[in-house]
Structure 1
Amino acid sequence: MRYGYFLNEPKGPDPIAGLRDQITQAAEDGFSSAWLSHIFGLDAITALVAAGVQAPPIELGTAVVPTYPRHPAALAQQAMTANAALGGRFALGVGLSHQVVIENMFGYSFERPGRHMKEYLDVLVPAGRGEHVQYQGETLKADLKLSTPGAGFPVLVAALGPRMLKLAGTVADGTVLWMTGPKTVAEHVAPTIRAAAAEAGREAPRIVCALPICVTDDREGAVAKANEIFQVYGQLPSYRAMLDREGVAGPGEVGIVGDEKFVRARLEELERAGVTDFVGSVFAERERTRSLLVGAAKG
C-alpha cells in the first residue's frame, strides 16, 4: 500500500507558496502522492500545477473535481495541460459532488447522476487519451479531437454505490474514497470494483482511500474533534450511507484515531481490505501523526 498526503488549502496572501512548501515536504518525507480537494477555494488543478512545478517530483491528484460545471472535453484539456506541465505526474479525481451543491448552488439538474457520470466518462476518458471522440448521449455531446500534450493521465472516480464503482472499474482507472472505512472497503468497494475490472479484461484498479487521521492518547477527545470538523460529511447522503454501512455514528469514528499501535493496526486493516493508496488527512496532533505516516511511507 502506497502512502499519500492530503494537502491543506493554505490561507494568507500567497496560498500557492504554501502549497508548494507542503508538496515539497511531502516529497522529502517519502510520500508517493499529494492530493488537494476542490470545493469553494482554490481551483485544484490550477493550484497543483502552479505549486507542483516548483516542487520535487511527486504524483499530484485532485480529490475531487466536480463534473457538472465543466464539459468533459474541457476538463480533459485542462487535465492534459496539467499533466504535461507536471511531467506526467498528474492524477485526475472526479466526482458528482452533491445534490445540494449541483442544484442549489450551480443550478444544474442532479437527475439520474449515474447516467451523467457514465456519459461524462465516455467523453472524458478517450478525449484525455488524445482520441477522436464522437459521442451522442442523452445529456452530453462531443465531436472533437484534442491536440493537447499530456495525454494518458489516470482518471479516478469518487465512487461509493455499486453502479459508480462498476464505472470506476470498467471505464476509469479506479476510485478515490472519502469517509469510507475498512469494513466497507473489504466487503463492498474492493469486490465490486475489482469484479467489474476483471469482467472488462482490465488490470486491477487503484483504490485510493483518504481518511481523517490522528495519533493521540486521547482517542475520545480526538474523535469528538473530528466529529466537529467533519460534521457535514455525516449529513450528506452519499457519505452518510458509507458511515451507516461501516456501522459508525459519525465521521470521527471512521477516522483513524488512537495511539501508534492502534493506528498502525487500522492502516494494516485497510491494506488487507484492498486499499492501494492511503491518503492521510491529518487534523490534530500533527507532528506525532505525521511522524507515524512518514515512517509508514518509508517502509
Structure 2
Amino acid sequence: MTTPVPASDRPALRFATGTTVKDFAAYTEWLRVAEDCGYAMLTTGDSQSLWADPYVALTFAAQHTTVPRLGVTVSNPMTRHPAVAASASSALQHISGDRFVLGISSGDSALRNIGLRPARVAETEEYVTAVRDLTAGRAARWQGADLELRWPPRRTPVWVAAEGPRTLRMAGRVADGVVLSNSLTREAYARNLGHIAEGAAEAGRDVADLEVWCMANVVPAATEQDGIDQVRSVLAGTANHVFRFGTEGKGLPDALRPAVEELKRRYDSAHHASPETAAHNAALVDELGLTGFLAAHSTVAGPLGHCVERLHEIAEAGVRNLVVAQFVPEPLAFMRTFADRIAPHFR
C-alpha cells in the first residue's frame, strides 16, 4: 500500500469521473458509489446512437445525488439548437440546485453515426455564446435569428472541448471552462494553456478565470503495459478525435503524421468509446506504431504506486483538474480503489 504524501509538499488535484449510460438500474448503483467516493463531478457524453440521452441521464443523476457537479462532456452544435440546449440546461440547473455544466465541441461520434458534418470553429463560438447568453437571461443570436427564453432560465457554465490552436483560442475568448484531451505531458499542457491564454487576452479576460480540465485514462494493472493494452481502442478514439481536422499545432511528431492519417481513415466510429466491441480500433494503434505516443499524453496505467507517481508528475506540470475515464472491467471496484488508494495523495 502506498503512503500519502502531505498535501503541503506536492500540488493537489481535483477528480471527476464519468460513464456512458445504457442501463439505468446499473446507473443508480454507479451514482451511489461515485458520490460516496467523493468525486467532484460526474459526467456523461452526448452520442445518441451509442448511449442514453445525456440530459435524461443527468436529470436522473440530479435526483440520485446531492453533492457532485454534473457535466455533459461533451455535446455539439449540430444535433441540438442552442435554444433547446439552453432550455434543457436551465431545467437541469433548477432540478440539480445549480450543479450542472454543459460542455460543447465540434462533434464527433454523435455526428459520424448519423451522417452530419462537425461544426466549424466560428459556428461553435457562436453556439457557445448563444447558450451562455440564453441561460443568463439575455437575448442571443444564432445563424441570423433572434433567440430568447421566455421562462426563468438558470445560468449554466458552458465549457469547450478543444485540441487545436484555433479552437483553444476560441475557448479562451468565450467559454467558462475548457476540456483538454492528450494533454498529460508538461509540454502539451503548457502549449494548450498558452493558446487558451491568448484567446482570453483577446477578449480582455484572464485565463485564471477559466476552469481547465484534462481527460485521463487511469488504469490500475499489474504493469504499465498491461494497463495500456486495456485502453488501446480508447487511444485510437482519442487520436481520431484530436487530429480529425489536422495535425498542425498539436504536438504530433512529423514521423507519426502518416500513421495518424491512416488511423483516421480506418477508424470505426460505430464502436467509439466501447472497448468491449472495438477490437478493430484497438489493433490500429499497435499496427501503426502509435501506442506509446498516445498513451504518454492520455493514460496513467500500472501498479497503484506507479499511478500515484505519474499523477504527481501531471500535477507538477500544472494540471489541477482531471476527468478520470472508466474504461476498466469493474467500474464500481475501480472507483472505490481510486478513492481509497489514489485520491488521498492529492488532497
Query: Same-fold call, TM > 0.5?
Result: yes
1:24 to 27, 32, 35: 32
Contact kept in structure 2, 1:214 and 1:289, CA below 8 Å: no
Distance 1:182 1:220 in 2: 18
Counterpart position of 1:295: 344
Bigger CA drift: 175-184 or 26-35? 175-184
Contact kept in structure 1, 2:87 and 2:135, CA below 8 Å: yes
Pair 1:228–1:126, CA change in 2 (3 A): closer
Distance 2:44 2:110 in 1: 19
The correspondence of residues 151-162 of structure 1 with structure 2, limited to 5 A, is 151-162=154-165
Contact kept in structure 1, 2:163 and 2:242, CA below 8 Å: no
Is residue 249 of structure 1 aligned with residue 290 of structure 2? yes
Counterpart position of 2:123: 116
1:38 to 46, 50, 59: 46
Is residue 227 of structure 1 aligned with residue 232 of structure 2? yes
Q: Secondary structure, in 3 states, of the residue corresponding to 2:175?
A: coil
Distance 1:85 1:196 in 2: 33
Name structure 2 gaps, 5 residues minimum.
1-11, 257-288
Pair 1:16–1:4, CA change in 2 (3 A): farther
- Structure 1 letter corresponding to 2:174: V
Q: CA RMSD in A?
A: 2.8
Q: Secondary structure, in 3 states, of the residue corresponding to 1:56?
A: coil
Contact kept in structure 2, 1:114 and 1:164, CA below 8 Å: yes
| 1:192-227 Cα distance to aligned partner (Å, 9 max, x none) | 112322443334211111111022331112112211
Name structure 1 gaps, 5 residues minimum.
none
In the TM superposition, what is the alpha-carbon distance from 1:128 to its structure 2 partner?
A: 1.9
Contact kept in structure 2, 1:125 and 1:155, CA below 8 Å: yes
The percent identity for this pair of structures is: 23
Distance 2:251 2:216 in 1: 12
Is residue 106 of structure 1 aligned with residue 147 of structure 2? no
Is residue 265 of structure 1 aligned with residue 309 of structure 2? yes
- Structure 2 letter corresponding to 1:295: P
- Structure 1 letter corresponding to 2:17: F
Distance 1:193 1:81 in 2: 30
Contact kept in structure 1, 2:15 and 2:321, CA below 8 Å: yes
Bigger CA drift: 255-264 or 122-131? 255-264
Q: Secondary structure, in 3 states, of the residue corresponding to 1:64?
A: strand
Contact kept in structure 2, 1:180 and 1:243, CA below 8 Å: no
In the TM superposition, what is the alpha-carbon distance from 1:107 to its structure 2 partner?
A: 3.9
Q: Secondary structure, in 3 states, of the residue corresponding to 2:243?
A: helix
Counterpart position of 1:90: 100
In the TM superposition, what is the alpha-carbon distance from 1:150 to its structure 2 partner?
A: 4.7
Pair 1:249–1:28, CA change in 2 (3 A): same
Q: Report the count of equivalent residues.
A: 288
Distance 1:296 1:64 in 2: 29
Bigger CA drift: 232-241 or 279-288? 232-241
Distance 2:295 2:319 in 1: 20
1:172 to 151, 172, 175: 175
In the TM superposition, what is the alpha-carbon distance from 1:97 to its structure 2 partner?
A: 1.6
| 1:263-294 Cα distance to aligned partner (Å, 9 max, x none) | 22332333333333211113347254453344
The correspondence of residues 185-204 of structure 1 with structure 2, limited to 5 A, is 185-203=188-206, 204=208
Distance 1:227 1:126 in 2: 40
In the TM superposition, what is the alpha-carbon distance from 1:34 to its structure 2 partner?
A: 1.1
Is residue 130 of structure 1 aligned with residue 137 of structure 2? yes
Q: Secondary structure, in 3 states, of the residue corresponding to 2:309?
A: helix
Bigger CA drift: 74-83 or 20-29? 20-29
